[in-house]
Amino acid sequence: MNALQISKGRKARLAGLAVIAVLLVGWIVNGLAEQGQQVRVDINALIHETQKTSQYASEMTLVWWIPEEYWRVSCAQDATIPSAQVEQLIKVIRPYTLVIVVDGRKGPGGTITYTSEAVIRATIAMKDRNGTVYRPLGEDKVGDEVRQFLSIVKPILAGGLGPMGQNMHFFLFPAANQKGEPIAQPRKEGAFSIRLAGREFRWRLPLGSLLAPKMCPGCKEKCSGAWNFCPWCGTMLPKWI
């Protein structure tokens, strides 16, 4: 294969990623703008579980972990997206843990002062369930195609969400530890957290939105697929195999 053929192949892959980016960012915008609405319950539930926000009224902070499953669920909402392009996107982002951060402080009259990407990058870190800490990957550690994909997504978010979208910053962390073990698996038991300027945003896994609900054998109440015990009667719930 000559250099021209390689170049054409790469351009075709990037074009496919651009198509997916345009279609999927609409779901990101809708997910942020329509929280609580019972439209597309599955995707909204997944968005809710993967987002963490500050508990302080003076802060406007969002930390959003976007796992591989988010892209799959989003793509399933649009039958026009070819499965080959979905798998292409997954292949591009699989080596990374993608986190979007918006960090702001509320001022008089509802004004918000946002923290810059550089300041966030200097203070953000990911910690796995064993306590190992990971810093965001620099550009020299990130593949060209994922950087191109994110460069397409960012301006679309900025246009759809205004100042909030303009201050959404993307950070890539490794998807596996030094042993090659996945750090965050949405469908399996585990935990990880994102540290940001002295604050910690933690995820306990698996994500209930990705699992079928469980029926409590004791009180017969429907429970989240992520729970091990019924919150109403305390009965141990069956485990998914």
- 163, 223: one domain: no
Structure tokens at 208: 């209930």
- 149, 225: one domain: no
User: What is the reported pLDDT for 221?
Assistant: 73
What's the distance, CA 75 to chain centroid?
A: 14
User: What is the reported pLDDT for 9?
Assistant: 44
Tell the residue number behind the tokens 């292409």, with chain if given: 88
- 191, 237: one domain: no
Q: How many C-beta atoms surround the C-beta of residue 224 within 10 A?
A: 16
Q: How far apart are the first and last CA of the chain?
A: 45
Q: Do 224 and 208 meet the contact criterion of CB atoms below 8 Å apart?
A: yes
User: What is the reported pLDDT for 16?
Assistant: 45
Print the domain residue range for 240: 211-241
- 202, 215: one domain: no
- 101, 191: one domain: yes
Q: Please state the domain count of the chain.
A: 2
- 122, 227: one domain: no
- 228, 190: one domain: no
Strand partners, 101: 63, 169
- 167, 236: one domain: no
- 124, 238: one domain: no
User: What is the reported pLDDT for 8?
Assistant: 41
pTM equals 0.77
- 199, 166: one domain: yes
- 139, 239: one domain: no
For the chain, 241 residues long, the average pLDDT of each consecutive 10-residue run is: 38 46 49 39 78 88 92 77 82 93 90 95 96 95 89 78 87 96 91 95 89 79 72 77 47
- 27, 56: one domain: yes
Q: Do 67 and 50 meet the contact criterion of CB atoms below 8 Å apart?
A: yes
